[in-house]
Amino acid sequence: MSNNFKTLKSFPNLFEAELVKELLEENDFTVNILNEYTASNLPGVAGNDFMMIELQVLIEEFEGAQEFIDDIADAYIADRMLTEVGAKLDGHFLLTSGKHSDQYFEKIKIIQDPEKCSAICKALAERFADEDIDIVIGPAYGAIVLGFEVAKYLKKAFAFSQRNDGKMSFRSGFDLEPGMKALIIEDVTTTGGSIFEVIELLKEKQMHCVGVGLLVDRSNGTIDFGVPVEAMLTVDAKSWEADECPLCKQNIPLTKPGRSDK
Ligand SMILES: [Zn+2]
C-alpha cells in the first residue's frame, strides 16, 4: 500500500510516533505509520523482537521532513511528554521565591511514568552516543532514575551523588577511579547549582566531566558549564514580582504548586 512512502524514523513506542506524526501533519507533510502489526503482515519487512513503529513520509517529501524533524522533533516530543505526565505545567504559579511565573516544573512527575521517562532518557542518551564516557553520574534524587536510564542505554556504569551535611559527595561503595570520564545527567535546572557541585566533586576525585545532559534547561541555554551541554527541552523561564505580573492583570487564578489549595 505504501510504495510511495519512505521510513523517516523508527520509534520504540506508538506514543512518540504519534506525536511526531501530528507535528509533521500540522506542517503539511503526508505521513503514514507502519506499526508492528502491519509490518508483520507485509512481505519483505523483517520481523523484529522489539516492537518498532515506523513513521513514513511521501518519498518526495522525505528530505524536507528529515530536515524538519532533526531541528525540532526532540524538543517537541520532550515538551509533550513532560506536559502529558504532568511535569510541565502552564498557568499562573506562585514560586517559593514569592515571584509569579507562567510555567512550573513538577520534577517528580517525570519518574512517575516509567515508560515515558525511559523513552525521553533514551533520546537524551542518543545525543551522547559518540562520546567517550566511562560513567554516568546523576545527583540525587531526581536524576538517579534518569542517570541510570541514560547509563543503561549507553551501556556504561552509573553512580549517584548526594549532599552530606550540605556537601555534594558520592554515595559510598561505587567503584570510582581517577581519570574516569563522566557524563552528568540532571532533570531540570535553572541556575545549574547541583551540576556545578558535581563538576567540583569530579575534580576532587580527579575524574573528568565530558558533558552535561539535561531534560530541561530553564536558563534558555545561558549557563556555561565549560563542557558540552545537551538539553531535550530549552525554555526561557519567566517570572515577575507580584505587582508587575501580567497574569495577575488578566485576573488568571494563581496556583501554589505542591498544594491542593489554590
Ligand atoms: Zn501573577
C-alpha closest to that of 8 among 26, 36, 29? 29
The mean pLDDT of 42-60, rounded to a whole number, is 69
pLDDT at 67 over 90: no
Ranges in the chain annotated CATH 3.30.70: 5-72
Mean pLDDT comparison of 17-31, 82-96, 199-213, highest-scoring range: 199-213
Higher pLDDT, 135 or 115: 135
SS3 221: coil
C-alpha 98 – ligand 1 centre gap (Å):
10
The pLDDT of residue 44 is above 80:
no
Q: Residue 64 pLDDT > 50, yes or no?
A: yes
| Comma-separated ranges of CATH 3.40.50.2020 domains in the chain | 85-240
pLDDT attached to residue 96: 83
Q: Residue 123: what pLDDT? A: 87
Q: 248 C-alpha to center of ligand 1: Å?
A: 4
Most confident of 45-59, 99-113, 201-215: 201-215
Q: Is the pLDDT of residue 252 over 80?
A: yes
Contacts of 226 (CB under 8 A, 6+ apart): 199, 209
- The C-alpha atoms of residue 235 and residue 114 are separated, in whole angstroms, by 24
Residue 261, pLDDT score:
41
Pick the CATH number of 5-72 from 2.40.360, 3.30.70, 1.10.8, 2.60.40: 3.30.70
Our measurement of the distance from residue 76's CA atom to the centroid of its chain's CA atoms, rounded to an integer in Å, reads 10
DSSP secondary-structure letter at 220? T
Q: How far is the CA of 85 from the centre of ligand 1 (A)?
A: 25
The answer to whether the CB of 5 falls within 8 A of the CB of 60 is no
Domain 85-240: give its CATH architecture. Answer: 3-Layer(aba) Sandwich (3.40)
Separation of CA 53 and ligand 1 centre (Å): 43
> Mean pLDDT over residues 79-102, rounded?
92
Task: Please say if the pLDDT value at position 203 is more than 90.
Answer: yes
Residue 47's pLDDT is 47
153-178: burial string, b at 16+ Cβ within 10 Å, e else: bbebbbbbbeeeeeebebeeeeebee
Ligand 1 center from residue 186 Cα (angstroms): 29
Closest CA to 154 of 178, 181, 177: 181
Q: pTM for this structure?
A: 0.79
CA nearest 67: which of 102, 38, 29, 94? 29
Which helix (DSSP H) or strand (DSSP E) does residue 120 occupy?
helix 114-127
| Element (DSSP H or E) covering residue 86 | none
State the pLDDT confidence band at 148, using cuts at 50, 70 and 90.
very high
C-alpha span between 200 and 258 (Å, rounded): 31
Q: How far is the CA of 101 from the centre of ligand 1 (A)?
A: 7
**Is the separation of the CB atoms in 101 and 239 below 8 Å?**
yes
Instruction: For the chain, give the number of residues.
Output: 262
Task: Please state, rounded to an integer, the average pLDDT across all residues of the chain.
Answer: 88
